[in-house]
Structure 1
């Protein structure tokens, strides 16, 4: 029997402290159709109702076996609150942006953090869900809450085409927008922590080298991350999709406690870059392995992650809705088998 609770083990992993075994968590989205069928908490309702959101998130721990709970399941919460039009999606399609407020550079002048940010239709649901989860399991199980970062939000509010063009032609425009959005991220993250979240995952793939150059990242985004990390006092994780290798070195000094990496990033190579400066989380492929292969393939890939020195074993990104439950459970079995040898 472990001498640590799941929450203690998770926190120690993020702080780089000695552990008995590596935690198995998901710091990205955990909703799957099978878990929806078991709980009766289906999308899209589970994205807009706190009780259903909490029930589906709790199933990621109680049924699937992740050693944490994680909500929300989609990335449009702040985007809708700040002016985007959002389609609610369906049982296997997450909400997505259909229209955005910053069609021209001058529209950025109209973007501001509303006084009621934490009382909006979307943020209030997530805050209530986090409080429910904290009351149910938060003493012993980590509650992880996701927040889209400033680059991701900028790409939603301006549209991806404008975001990319303006970054090249008028970077000061994107920087102005991201500066406003960073303040929204900070207020929302602190609100989630106050309601009982153990950790925040900042999801910001649009700041990665698959989207903008490493130089753009260091000039325009890195200072915003430093500000976020200074003003959000508790545990913080950054998740970046794609091959983040080129920005791992500065990321390790931004102030985050952990980096969640996709399978495109080699764990041992990443460890060579980051050393002991930050906790590495990942990076079993959610699409190539967890979704489409079987438990044995999951075991092989998870074991490779552990052998390469991963600090928290996790899917490399959010789970696809049709990910088989048995494949998620195989992550736990792989970890247990690895540490029983």
Structure 2
């Protein structure tokens, strides 16, 4: 069986037989633009957050140097928050962008702006253009456009402590805000698909069982994730979803998500999850702590275990530290590929 990286990933997501699991890193919260890669190539951040050509070049560098079988863009989780009004610190070569200040103190004060106009703001068009450049130059490699999930996006524009309290106490305005950001996320994702993205990954690190608990996860995370997933499916591409943290409290709801693959943190035993819910396409979940602080031979053993356990897509368990060693990542990808 001779498959291109794009064919292997898309076939896996369609539950077709493949020769081996794809090994990927999706961008966004799972950014693989580590310092080792940038120092080697000279294509650096924070400049690469803004220019489509440099974003595409850096994504290609990551692919070439790490062995990951995809291009993952953008390199942060602040594109949506910036457009929706948050103040952003764009970081440095070694430090990812972060939100400095949210524009709204409460869900009741959120201003609902025109989504079409927001698609022309901030870095939205740059990310879409980078997808276009990558897909045209490398048609055999999947471009994964990464977006923030609805809960995380809402918590990035409303003071997060207040937002989480208001999920309990102010349900109606909370639903309105989540509906609004979900509409924006669908349109942003569709723009990435129009640019050439082969798949979309939704990272929703605030939507964890520990933070929300089962009731709020069921009321808010599931319906709004599914709204975004369904909107992206209507654009014709598959969707991967990453949920952080320990999944025990919300595990029963994971099969109700409409995504094509579920990615989990290193705390989750993916083999057991797959045995309990065999309909799931599983993705993950090699410890990012191991990738930063471990040795290549130990990384290789853990990657081999994931392959042996039948995990469908091999990837880091969460966001990589920018100081992760390139040798550890190469040990991961080479093991999965059988090199």
- Relative to the length of structure 1, the TM-score reads 0.94
Find 1:74's aligned residue among 51, 73, 76.
76
Alpha-carbon offset, residue 225 of structure 1:
2.0
Cα distance in 2 for partners of 1:248, 1:16 equals: 21
The residue number in structure 2 matching 1:54 is 56
What RMSD over aligned residues (CA atoms) do the two structures have, in Å?
Answer: 1.5
Alpha-carbon offset, residue 332 of structure 1:
2.1
Are the equivalent residues in 2 in contact too, given 1:248–1:274 (CA < 8 A)?
A: no
1:18-52 residue CA offsets vs partner (Å, 9 max, x unmatched): 11111111122111011111221211111111111
The residue number in structure 1 matching 2:242 is 239
Report the CA distance shift for 1:150/1:176 in structure 2 as closer, same or farther (over 3 A): same
Is it true that 1:103 corresponds to 2:105 in the alignment? yes
Are the equivalent residues in 2 in contact too, given 1:209–1:247 (CA < 8 A)?
A: yes
Find 2:278's aligned residue among 275, 292, 298.
275
* Secondary structure in structure 2 of the residue aligned to 1:157: coil
Runs of 5+ consecutive residues of structure 1 not aligned to the other structure: none
Cα distance in 2 for partners of 1:308, 1:160 equals: 37
1:276-311 residue CA offsets vs partner (Å, 9 max, x unmatched): 2x311100011x200011101101211221222210
Is it true that 1:262 corresponds to 2:271 in the alignment? no
Alignment of 1:109-120 (within 5 A): 110-120=111-121
The residue number in structure 2 matching 1:325 is 326
Report the CA distance shift for 1:79/1:198 in structure 2 as closer, same or farther (over 3 A): same
The residue number in structure 2 matching 1:216 is 216
Cα distance in 2 for partners of 1:239, 1:113 equals: 28
Report the CA distance shift for 1:158/1:229 in structure 2 as closer, same or farther (over 3 A): same
* Secondary structure in structure 2 of the residue aligned to 1:97: strand
Alpha-carbon offset, residue 57 of structure 1:
0.8
Report the CA distance shift for 1:239/1:87 in structure 2 as closer, same or farther (over 3 A): same
Task: State the 4+ residue runs in structure 1 displaced beyond 4 angstroms.
Answer: none
Which region of structure 1 is more displaced relative to structure 2, 263-272 or 222-231? 222-231
Cα distance in 2 for partners of 1:171, 1:217 equals: 13
Cα distance in 2 for partners of 1:42, 1:8 equals: 30
Cα distance in 2 for partners of 1:106, 1:55 equals: 41
Are the equivalent residues in 2 in contact too, given 1:57–1:69 (CA < 8 A)?
A: yes
Report the CA distance shift for 1:329/1:246 in structure 2 as closer, same or farther (over 3 A): same
Alpha-carbon offset, residue 114 of structure 1:
3.1
Is it true that 1:5 corresponds to 2:4 in the alignment? yes
Cα distance in 1 for partners of 2:114, 2:286 equals: 36
Are the equivalent residues in 2 in contact too, given 1:151–1:207 (CA < 8 A)?
A: yes
Alpha-carbon offset, residue 259 of structure 1:
0.9
Report the CA distance shift for 1:130/1:324 in structure 2 as closer, same or farther (over 3 A): same
Cα distance in 2 for partners of 1:246, 1:113 equals: 37
Are the equivalent residues in 1 in contact too, given 2:106–2:159 (CA < 8 A)?
A: no
* Secondary structure in structure 1 of the residue aligned to 2:283: strand
The residue number in structure 1 matching 2:293 is 292
Alpha-carbon offset, residue 113 of structure 1:
4.2
Are the equivalent residues in 2 in contact too, given 1:267–1:309 (CA < 8 A)?
A: no
Are the equivalent residues in 1 in contact too, given 2:107–2:163 (CA < 8 A)?
A: no
Cα distance in 2 for partners of 1:90, 1:336 equals: 32
Report the CA distance shift for 1:13/1:326 in structure 2 as closer, same or farther (over 3 A): same
Alpha-carbon offset, residue 17 of structure 1:
1.1
- Relative to the length of structure 2, the TM-score reads 0.94
Between the two proteins, the alignment pairs up a number of residues equal to 333
Are the equivalent residues in 1 in contact too, given 2:222–2:256 (CA < 8 A)?
A: no
